[in-house]
Structure 1
Amino acid sequence: MDCRPSRTQDPNEWIATCPEGSRAVCEELRDLFFRWEPDLQESINSNMLCFNRHKRVVGLSGLKSHAQITFYRGGDLPDPGRLFNHGLENATIRSIDLPQGLEGLNQRALKALLHAAVELDAQPSLPKPPRPPREEWPMPSVLEEALQKNKAAAAFFEQLKPTYQREYKVWVSTAKQPETIAKRLNETIRALAAGKKWAQRKEAC
């Protein structure tokens, strides 16, 4: 998804000034979108050619080496053809990178995806899907070993909510130099033993 300032607000000029590596594909996709959903309206946003009804439904990015299709509510759409291959971790916006152009693209599946996106756009009052939960941050081995040696620190750490545990785990594990690791580890154990959350750790020094 291209977040640069738009080079133009004119869709025809946008197509004409796409990089050579994506211009023909973007032009063909534009024709397909209007053939499949003739009531769509065009606009330019964040240097993308967008196709709208109530809100933005789908957008095209013309990149140097390839084109990209972005569905603004892709996380809500059925994708039996498994076209989405970019932004799969996002709850809403998902994209299709086309490094090979339209060669090998399942156009029937893309057409169905576009129809579903337009139908979904007709229901703008639907609530946004919940954000996917963050993956648990792995426990640094040095912190785990230190907690095993300090019962008070370990007990307070265990009663902390996962969000507060994460702060300590991230802080310790993102240190790179041995002296930095040792310093943060010592501060962590001292703060935990004193019953302090990460934001309060300085109070235990």
Structure 2
Amino acid sequence: MAGDWKSETVDRVRSLIVRAEPDVVEEAKWRKESNPEGVPTFSRDGLICTVETYQDKVKLTFAKGASLPDPAGLFNAGLDGGSRRAIDLREGADLDEDAFVALVRDAVALNQA
């Protein structure tokens, strides 16, 4: 997987999350035979988001996304969910980095409220 667009996207998203919240805690959870590396999770006073790779996308799922303002319209998946919202990034997708950093900061603030 190294060097492909999905791993590059995960690395980019990881750096944006750390930029938004330097004290974020990253853990790999839900390890299983089909995914021995597990799912990267990012937390600060509660879960912020998970980052999962699929064949055709990288999915960023925000645990409390339904409660977050999203003026840039980053959320494009899971819009009918009761609490979660997700951002599906496909190859070549453009992510508004400033809006994403703001979204992560808002998620942390919500966790701390």
TM score, norm. by length of structure 1 = 0.48
Unmatched runs of 5 consecutive residues or more in structure 2: 31-37
The CA deviation string for residues 157-177 of structure 1, in whole angstroms up to 9 with x for no partner, is: xxxxxxxxxxxxxxxxxxxxx
- AA aligned to 2:27 is S
Tell me the equivalent position of 1:71: 62
Using the alignment, how far apart are the partners of 1:108 and 1:28 within structure 2? 13
1:93 to 84, 93, 113: 84
Higher normalized strand content (fraction of residues): 2
The CA deviation string for residues 89-130 of structure 1, in whole angstroms up to 9 with x for no partner, is: 0011110000134x422111111111100000112xxxxxxx
- CA shift in 2, pair 1:58/1:18, >3 Å: farther
Poorly superposed stretches of 4+, deviation over 6 Å:
none
- AA aligned to 2:53 is G
Higher normalized helix content (fraction of residues): 1
Tell me the equivalent position of 2:17: 33
Q: CA RMSD in A?
A: 1.8
**Residue 63 of structure 1: how far off its partner (Å):** 1.8
- CA shift in 2, pair 1:68/1:88, >3 Å: same
Tell me the percent identity.
Answer: 31
**Residue 19 of structure 1: how far off its partner (Å):** 9.2
Using the alignment, how far apart are the partners of 2:7 and 2:55 within structure 1? 9
- CA shift in 2, pair 1:30/1:60, >3 Å: same
Q: Are 2:72 and 1:81 equivalent residues in the alignment?
A: yes
Matches within 5 A, 1:181-200: none
TM score, norm. by length of structure 2 = 0.84
8 A contact 1:60–1:70 mirrored in 2: yes
The structure showing larger relative contact order (alpha-carbon pairs under 8 Å, at least 6 residues apart) is: 2
Unmatched runs of 5 consecutive residues or more in structure 1: 1-16, 124-205
Between Structure 1 and Structure 2, whose CA radius of gyration is higher?
A: 1
